[in-house]
Structure 1
Amino acid sequence: MSYSILRVAKVKGSNNTRGIQKHCQRENKNYQNKDINSEKTHMNYDLVNDEKIDFNQKINERIEAGYHGKRKIRSDAIRHIDGIITSDSDFFEDKSQEEKDAFFKDSLKFLEKEYGKENIIYASVHYDEKTPHMHFGFVPLTNDGRLSAKEKLGNKKNLSELQNRFSFHISIDKGYDLKRGSLNSRKEHKTVEAYKSETKYHEKETELAKQESERVKAEQKKAEKEFEKLKEQLQKDIDRLNQKPDFKVEDEVLTEKNIFGKVTSIERTGRVIMSNVDFEKVKEKYLSATRILDDYETLKNTDVYKENQGLRKEKEVQNKRAQEWMNESFKHERKAYDLEEENEQLKEKNKELNDFSKKMVKNTAGVYKALRSRYKGFEERYNEFADSLAQKERTEPLSRFMKEIQGAVHEQDRKKSRSNDLEL
């Protein structure tokens, strides 16, 4: 099986950059390299530029536009990273021209994601040599606008992890039948391969990676199903809260009669009387609010969410294993990619849930104001009910929720009062 090959190196000085430019764009008239077939040079092209460019000029333009560092750039600072992507001749031998072009386009997508599309200076594909390959170059600007080749390339471990990510991208994501290339010499590479063959390393790691991938997918599917159920229940409860109140209440009146049955005194207690049926309706609305609150807490504390946080920490362990085992280790990077995607999905779902929560608070506040305006003594009964709920652990969150609604309504009252005062 063929191997995916990605190499990167720092370029020191503008003269070396100009030399790379001449090689990539075939600006020399004569070449000592016998592998170059000038009759096929017309097949070469650049995926980034439509015509020949001045590498140094484009590098300087990119730095001028993207550098946000506070210090002046040193004269000996590395401004240019050059690299190459290829495989062996066997890989390209049975492929059509379109398939070869697709391979280099897919490789460029990896580079754009890794180093930033705006930082890629050239991506020159050469078909006039024995083995097709792509030279690429980029300006080592960080996300916060600093020029740092050290940070963008790192040490040997970082370069190994780069190999892992590229192999995962080109072999797993894009489906090319390639093994991960090695940073070691050919002799060392063969030694590692022999050891792995003897210990059945590949079979074991492939099966573990497959099982882990299936487990993560199953957990994700389960979380999505649970979320949809919660979302459906939330909508039902919110619809119930949106229903206009149709409760009937009467003022409580105490009367005294004499021995002849004639009413001698009438006293209004300030309380209201509500039928059992209407009281059950009120309870049903607040039970809906309780479910909303409970479901929100459940989703935040779900095991899948906690597990995702654990998977993030495990990423560092996976990188260490990749350094030790070399080939096939990129499969473990899948967990890191899956984790990033899952976390993004959770963020979106949490945003949806927060929107539902805000909508629920707004609608419940509306119900509160409607009841307060219609029924005398409502706030007193409301506070009594909230205080009674606060006595039990199970219903205490609902009590807090009721107080939050009341506080929001009172704040609206204060704002309205201040607005009226200003108008006066």
Structure 2
Amino acid sequence: MGYAVLHMEKTSGTDAAMSAHIERTIKPKNADESRTHLNRELITFPDGVENRTQAIQHRLDTAGLTRKIGNNQVRAIRVLLTGTHEDMERITSEGRLDEWCNDNLKYLTDTFGRENIVSAILHMDEQTPHIHATLVPIVKGERKRKKKEEQVKKRYRKKPTDIARLCADEIMTRAKLKSYQDTYAQAMSGYGLQRGIDGSEAKHITTRQYYRDLVQQTEQLRTDIGQLRDRKETVQEELRRAKKEVQT
């Protein structure tokens, strides 16, 4: 049984640079161009919205935010959803990939809210099928006050609890990140995928570093394959010589 993979990462701005990679307006080194046509957007954009970057901005504009968005404030969270390579290949060969995609969308919308999931693109042109989902961290409720604020004797006016706020930190607390790993593994259990090791010492890496490592691994594999072919030709030549000597 393989592992279910859910990786979350905060972004800066409307993440236009990553949109170029996800939407293939640029050609990644690790992507097979002959399979790029198999990639697809799993979410229908609102009228007038044409791409992921615009979808992020549209959600921010229509969320009913009352506070101005800061220049350094996180506007979106990338979510990478996949599984162990062998298991994703099995799911694809069994004809269950569409079902897997639908269950991933259901998990995202149930967990974060349908309106907050503005894009979800399936990539089939890389080594392992996976989904790049985009979450705009809109939450509701009163902002949690810092300890310094609580110690001040000034009385705060009680604010409505249904006000929409942009707050990535509230979505990505340590406790919630652990909870997502648990609930996502449960949602993927029907595909033979289980949770990664709880409390593992494996270090968290960024999506950019993940792809950088993947490209390096792919290049190393190509080198290894080339060396194996050369060895194969050498062995075949030695075998032909040996056969000739036996015949002689």
Aligned counterpart, 1:184:
200
Look up the SS of the partner of 1:130 in the other structure.
coil
* Equivalent in the alignment of 1:386: none
Q: Is the 8 A contact 1:67 1:147 kept in 2?
A: no
What does residue range 110-129 of structure 1 map to in structure 2 within 5 Å? 110-129=107-126
Quickly say closer, same or farther: Cα 1:177–1:45, change in 2 above 3 A: same
Q: What are structure 1's unaligned runs of at least 5 residues?
A: 188-424
Which of 170, 173, 182 is the matching residue for 1:151? 170
Q: Which has the higher helix share?
A: 1
Q: Give 1:335's aligned residue.
A: none
Deviations 1:108-129 (A, max 9, x none): 1000011111111110000110
Matched, 1:38 2:26: no
Identity, % of aligned pairs?
Answer: 31
Q: In the alignment, which residue of structure 2 is the partner of 1:68?
A: 65
The amino acid across from 2:182 in the alignment is N
Q: Aligned pair 1:79/2:95, yes or no?
A: no
- 3-state SS, counterpart of residue 77 of structure 1: coil
CA–CA distance in structure 2, aligned partners of residues 186 and 74 of structure 1: 33
- 2:39 is aligned with 1:20: no
Aligned CA RMSD, in angstroms, stands at 2.2
- 2:9 maps to amino acid: A
- Structure 1 position 185, deviation (Å): 4.5
Show the 5 A alignment for 1:174-213. 175-182=190-197, 184-186=200-202
The aligned counterpart of 1:408 is: none
In the other structure, the counterpart of 1:92 is 88
Q: For the residues of structure 1 that align with 2:105 and 2:193, how far apart are their CA atoms?
A: 17
- Cα distance, 1:100 vs. partner? 1.4
TM norm structure 1: 0.39
* Pairs aligned (count): 177
From the superposition, tell whether residues 68 and 94 of structure 1 become closer, same or farther in structure 2 (CA, over 3 Å): closer
Distance 1:22 1:100, change over 3 A: same
Which deviates more, 157-166 or 95-104? Answer: 95-104
Does structure 2 conserve the Cα–Cα contact (< 8 Å) formed by 1:59 and 1:79?
Answer: yes
Higher relative contact order (CA 8 A, sep 6+): 2
Using the alignment, how far apart are the partners of 1:25 and 1:180 within structure 2? 29
Which residue does the alignment assign to 1:402? none
Aligned to 1:7: 7
Q: Please tell me the residue identity of whatever aligns with 1:12.
A: S
- Residues 80-130 of structure 1 deviation map (CA, whole Å, 9 limit, x = unaligned): 111100011110223337301211210110000111111111100001101
CA positional deviation for 1:53 = 3.0
Distance 1:93 1:57, change over 3 A: closer
Q: What are the equivalent positions in structure 2 for 1:8-407 lying under 5 Å apart? A: 8-14=8-14, 17-28=15-26, 30-31=27-28, 33=29, 35-49=30-44, 53-69=50-66, 71-95=67-91, 96=93, 98-143=95-140, 144=162, 145-155=164-174, 157-171=175-189, 175-182=190-197, 184-186=200-202
Q: Return 5+ residue gaps in structure 2 as ranges.
A: 141-161, 204-248
Contact 2:38 2:123 in 1 (8 A): yes
Quote the Cα distance in structure 2 between the aligned partners of 1:184 and 1:12.
Answer: 28
Q: What letter is aligned with 2:87?
A: F
Q: What TM-score, normalized to structure 2? A: 0.66
Partner of 2:222: none
The residue type paired with residue 32 of structure 2 is N
Larger Rg over CA atoms: 1
